[in-house]
Amino acid sequence: MTVYRCFVEKRKPFAVEAAHTLADLREALRSDKIESVRILNRYDIENIDEEDYLSARYTILSEPQVDDLYEETAPAAAEDEWVFAVEYLPGQFDQRADSCAQCIQLSTMKTRPDVASARVYYIKGDLDEADKAKIRETLINPVESREASLD
């Protein structure tokens, strides 16, 4: 069966979490090198019909009034943006993925789909490798999560 992938991002006025993350990272780096932060939630969903997936996109995965949804591929990064993703370790409970799967099951009245989620960070600024390492250290808790592939 097909694996459907989408990315969901809060629009600028509603991106409160991204604004808080920007403030946290500036404090962690003790620098204003970071100009902006964007956060996208990535969903990989399988064992679901195309019709059910299409229905869930704008009712369960996103809110059309406040979110932008990207199908299959994330938006391209700007030249001065660094992109990386974070996912839960295998065996760790992923509340976002579990809630999504439960909602899809309830709305379709079919078997629960398999859902995996990750957070994709777009960090804009003049960052060196030490800055990137500090950002990873700040955003990735090694007990429960790891850096994810962007593919």
pLDDT in tens, 15-70: 999 999 999 999 988 988 999 999 999 999 999 999 999 999 999 999 999 999 99
Residue 7's DSSP bridge partners are: 42, 70
Torsions phi, psi for 53 (to 5 deg): -65, -45
Mean pLDDT, rounded, of the chain = 95
Domain of residue 46, residue span: 4-148
Q: Does the pLDDT at position 120 exceed 90?
A: yes
Torsions phi, psi for 57 (to 5 deg): -55, -50
pLDDT of residue 35: 95
Q: Under DSSP, is residue 126 helix (H, G, I), strand (E, B) or coil?
A: coil
Total-model pTM: 0.93
Domain count, the chain: 1
pLDDT of residue 51: 95
